[in-house]
Chain A
Amino acid sequence: MRNAQRILAALAVLGALHLVILLAGFVAPYDPAAQNRDFPFAPPTRIHFVDAYGRAHLRPFIYSLSVRSDTVNEYEEARDKSYPVRFFIQGPAYKLAGLLPLHVHLFGVEGPAQIFLAGTDGYGRDQFSRILYGGQISLAAGLLATGISLLLGLVVGCVSGFYGRWIDESAMRLVELFLVLPWLYFLLAVRSFLPLNISPTQTFLLLVAVIGTIGWARPARLVRGIVLSAKGRKYVIASRGFGASEYYILRRHVLPHTYGVLLTQAALLVPQYVVAEVTLSFLGLGLSEPAPSWGNLLANLQQYNVLISYWWMFAPALALVIVSLGYLQLANAVHELQSGSI
C-alpha cells in the first residue's frame, strides 16, 4: 500500500538522519570548534577518483590545499601528494552521544591535509562537522519543544474536556489567544524579556521552554474535542456503572483515542520548532557562538561578502530542508492513515 510505503520511506530517511546526527562525533572528522586560521572560507574539498596520470583508484583521495599567492581566501590544490580517504580513522577525541569517549571517526585523511566536505567558515572551522554538531542542538531543541507542547496540550485538553464549564471556557479562550498570536513576534517578545547573556546550556533550555509554549494550542483543542466526544459515549457511562474511577476512564477509554492525533501533531510540530530554533539563532537571539546551531551557521550569510562568494555556507539549509521534508511526509502519511481508519 502506498501509504505504508511512504511512512516507511519517511521513517527511514529521518531515522538515518537522526542517527547520523546523534553520532555526530563519530561521523564528523573534526572537532567543531577547531579553527584553521590558515584556511578561512575554504571551498568544499574535491574528492577524486582519477589521479593526475589518469589512473583510476577505488579509494577516493584528496589533495591538500595551499593558498594561492597574492590572493585572500583563494585556494588551489597541491597536486604533488595525494591523501587517500581512510575510514575508521583515529582522530580528535570526542564523546559519542555525550557519553562514550572515543577516538575513532567514520572517515578522514592523514595530516597535514584536511577534508572539508562542506568547506570552512571565516575561522577555518570544518562546516561539515559543525553542521552535524549543530544538528544535535537544532533537532534536540525541536524534539524537546514538541514534547513540551504535546504534554501541555494533552493536559490542558484533558482537564478542559473532562471538567468542563468555566475551566473549559477559560481554557478555550486561552487557546484562541495563542492561536491568534503571530508566533515569531511572540517568540521575540518573550525572548527579549529574558536575559541575553547566559550560558549556552541555559540558553538552550530557555529556548526549548519558550518555543514549546507556542504550539500547545492546536493539540489542546484537538485533545479536548476527543475527550468531549469520548466523555459522552455510552460505554463511558457504562464504565462508571461498574465503579470505574475517572482515572480509569481516562486511561482506558479516552487516552487511546488521542494517540493518533498526537502523533500527527508531533510530526507537524517538530519541523516547525526546528525552524523556530534556527530562526531565533539566525537572528542572534538563540544559541550564540561558539556553540554551533544551524541558525548561527546560516547567520554567516547575512554578511554580504559571504553571501556572494561562499556558496557552501548554504549547506545547513539543505539539512534543514531534508528534516522538514521528512517530517512533513510522515505527518501526511500518518494523517491519511488515521482518517482512513475513522
Chain B
Amino acid sequence: MNYLERRVIHGMLLLVGVSVLCFAFAALAPGNFFDEMKLNPQISPATVAALRSQYGIDQPLPLRYGRWVRSVIRGEWGYSFAYNCPVRSLLMVRARNTLLLTTLATLLTWLIAIPLGVWTANRRGRWDDRMGMAGSALLLAVPELVVAMLLLYWVVRTHGLPVGGMVSVDFDVLGKQAKLIDLALHLVIPTTTLVLASLPLLVRHIRASVVEVLQAPFVQAARAHGIGGARLLFRYALPAAANPLSSLFGLSVGALLSSSLLVEVITAWPGLGPLLLEAAMARDIYVVVGAVMASAFFMIAGSILADILLVVADPRIRLGSL
C-alpha cells in the first residue's frame, strides 16, 4: 500500500468521522424542521407526526445514520425537506459553483503570493519589505466580512460591476462569448475578496519559508558562484521551499472554504454557502450534513492534492530519505 493510497483511505476515514460528528450534533438538537409547522394552527399535529415518521425523524439516531449512509451509496445523499428532492441534485450545482470560485481564487492567490513572497524575502529588512509587511498586517486585520462589504460598497457607488449573483438575468439568451464575459464580471467581486483575504497570511508564510531557504548552505554556495537575482530565487531557492509550501497549501484550503462561505452569502454567489445558511435556518438537516460533507471533501481532496504536489516537487520524498 503506497503512500497515496494510504492518504486516500485516511481521507475517507476522516470523511466518515465528519459525518459521524455531524450526526452526533444532530443528537443534541432539540427541535427539527417540522417545529415551524407545529406552530402553524392550520396543520394538525397528526399531519406533523405523519410527516415526521415519513422522514424518519423520530427514529433513533444510529438508525437514521444507517439510512443516510445507504442513501449516500444510492447516490441521493439524503432528502431535503424544504426543496422536497434528494440532496444530491441541490449539492451538485452548488458544489460546482463553489469549486469554480474557490479554485480560481486559490490559483490567483498563489500566483500573486509566490512572486510577492519570494521578492520580499529577498529584500528582507529593507524599506519596501517593511512596508509590505506593514501593509499585509493591516490587510490581515481586516476580516473578509468587512472586505466584502467594502468592495460591494465601492461597486455599488461606481456602477462598474454587477453586484452579486453569478449570472445576469438575461444570461440564457447571450452569445457564447458574452456568457463568458458575463460570468467573469460576476466573478470579480467574490474572487477579489477571497484573494485579498487569503493573501496576507500566505505571503507571510512564503516569505518565511524562502528566508529560511536563502540561508541554507547550498544557496550561499550558489551565490558565491556568482548566481544571483531572479535565477537564484526561482531556480534555486523556490524549489527548496516547495516542501513547506505544499503543506501550507493543504492547510490553506480549509481557511479558503470558510471564507468562501461568507463571501458567497454576501455577494449572493450560488454556492454551497448560501445553501448551507438556508438549510441551517430551516433546520433542513440532511442538506446541512450534505453541505458540510461536501466542504470537508473539498478540504481533504485539497490536502491530498497538496501531498501529491509535495511528492512531485520534493525529490527527497521520492527517494525515500524523508
**Residues in chain A within 8 A of chain B (CB atoms):** 173, 176-177, 179-186, 188-196, 271, 275, 278-279, 282-285, 298, 301-302, 304, 307-308, 311, 314, 317, 320-321, 324-325, 328-329, 332
Question: B141, A328: Cβ atoms under 8 Å?
Answer: yes
**Is B222 on the interface with A (CB-CB < 8 A)?**
no
Tell me how far the C-beta of B71 lies from the nearest C-beta in chain A, rounded to whole angstroms: 18
Question: A185, B261: Cβ atoms under 8 Å?
Answer: yes
**Is B288 on the interface with A (CB-CB < 8 A)?**
yes
19 A-B pairs with CB atoms under 8 Å apart are A176-B14, A179-B254, A180-B18, A180-B254, A181-B18, A182-B258, A182-B295, A185-B295, A189-B276, A190-B25, A192-B279, A193-B283, A195-B30, A278-B145, A308-B153, A314-B150, A317-B150, A320-B146, A325-B141
Chain A residue at minimal CB-CB distance from B256: A182
Chain B residue at minimal CB-CB distance from A324: B141
B contact residues, total (Cβ < 8 Å)? 52
Complex CA–CA separation, A27 to B261 (angstroms): 36
- Given A182-B258, A184-B258, A189–B277 Cβ distance below 8 Å? no
Chain B residue at minimal CB-CB distance from A176: B14
- Kindly list chain A residues whose C-beta atoms are within 8 Å of the C-beta of B251: 179
- Kindly list chain B residues whose C-beta atoms are within 8 Å of the C-beta of A191: 280
Most buried by A among B143, B257, B259: B143
Complex CA–CA separation, A239 to B21 (angstroms): 41
Complex CA–CA separation, A179 to B28 (angstroms): 22
- Kindly list chain A residues whose C-beta atoms are within 8 Å of the C-beta of B149: 298, 301, 307, 314, 317
Tell me how far the C-beta of B39 lies from the nearest C-beta in chain A, rounded to whole angstroms: 10
- Kindly list chain A residues whose C-beta atoms are within 8 Å of the C-beta of B153: 301, 307-308, 311, 314
- Kindly list chain A residues whose C-beta atoms are within 8 Å of the C-beta of B137: 325, 328-329, 332
**Is B91 on the interface with A (CB-CB < 8 A)?**
no
Question: A321, B29: Cβ atoms under 8 Å?
Answer: no
- Kindly list chain A residues whose C-beta atoms are within 8 Å of the C-beta of B295: 182, 185
Q: What 0/1 readout, one digit per residue, does chain B (16-56) give for beta carbons within 8 Å of chain A?
A: 01100110011011110000000000000000000000000
Question: B291, A185: Cβ atoms under 8 Å?
Answer: yes
Question: B280, A321: Cβ atoms under 8 Å?
Answer: no
Q: What 0/1 readout, one digit per residue, does chain B (262-279) give for beta carbons within 8 Å of chain A?
A: 100110000010001101
Question: A321, B142: Cβ atoms under 8 Å?
Answer: yes
**Is B224 on the interface with A (CB-CB < 8 A)?**
no
Complex CA–CA separation, A284 to B280 (angstroms): 10
Complex CA–CA separation, A173 to B152 (angstroms): 40
Tell me how far the C-beta of B241 lies from the nearest C-beta in chain A, rounded to whole angstroms: 19
Question: B292, A193: Cβ atoms under 8 Å?
Answer: no
Question: A194, B29: Cβ atoms under 8 Å?
Answer: yes
Most buried by B among A185, A194, A302: A185
Question: A285, B280: Cβ atoms under 8 Å?
Answer: yes
Complex CA–CA separation, A328 to B134 (angstroms): 12
Of A181, A282, A311, the contact of B145 (CB 8 Å cutoff): A282
Question: B25, A321: Cβ atoms under 8 Å?
Answer: no
- Kindly list chain B residues whose C-beta atoms are within 8 Å of the C-beta of A179: 251, 254
- Given A180-B303, A181-B18, A193-B29, A285–B281 Cβ distance below 8 Å? yes
Complex CA–CA separation, A29 to B261 (angstroms): 37
- Kindly list chain B residues whose C-beta atoms are within 8 Å of the C-beta of A329: 137
**Is B157 on the interface with A (CB-CB < 8 A)?**
yes
Complex CA–CA separation, A285 to B279 (angstroms): 12
Question: A185, B145: Cβ atoms under 8 Å?
Answer: no
Chain A residue at minimal CB-CB distance from B300: A180
Tell me how far the C-beta of A93 lies from the nearest C-beta in chain B, rounded to whole angstroms: 34
Of A177, A184, A308, the contact of B17 (CB 8 Å cutoff): A177
- Given A180-B296, A182-B295, A182-B299, A196–B281 Cβ distance below 8 Å? yes
Tell me how far the C-beta of A119 lies from the nearest C-beta in chain B, rounded to whole angstroms: 15
- Kindly list chain A residues whose C-beta atoms are within 8 Å of the C-beta of B17: 173, 177
- Kindly list chain B residues whose C-beta atoms are within 8 Å of the C-beta of A186: 292
Complex CA–CA separation, A190 to B26 (angstroms): 8
Most buried by A among B145, B262, B266: B145
5 further interface pairs, Cβ-Cβ under 8 Å (given A283-B262, A321-B141): A189-B280, A192-B283, A279-B262, A285-B277, A324-B143
Complex CA–CA separation, A285 to B273 (angstroms): 14
User: For chain B residues 267-322, which have a beta carbon within 8 Å of chain A?
Assistant: 272, 276-277, 279-281, 283, 285, 288-289, 291-292, 295-296, 299-300, 303
- Kindly list chain A residues whose C-beta atoms are within 8 Å of the C-beta of B292: 185-186, 189
Complex CA–CA separation, A173 to B17 (angstroms): 10
- Kindly list chain B residues whose C-beta atoms are within 8 Å of the C-beta of A332: 137
Of A182, A183, A308, A324, the contact of B142 (CB 8 Å cutoff): A324
Complex CA–CA separation, A250 to B28 (angstroms): 35
**Is B138 on the interface with A (CB-CB < 8 A)?**
yes
Of B152, B254, B262, B289, the contact of A181 (CB 8 Å cutoff): B254
Complex CA–CA separation, A304 to B149 (angstroms): 11
Of A177, A285, A307, A328, the contact of B21 (CB 8 Å cutoff): A177
Question: A298, B145: Cβ atoms under 8 Å?
Answer: yes
**Is B57 on the interface with A (CB-CB < 8 A)?**
no
Chain B residue at minimal CB-CB distance from A188: B280
- Kindly list chain A residues whose C-beta atoms are within 8 Å of the C-beta of B143: 275, 278-279, 320-321, 324
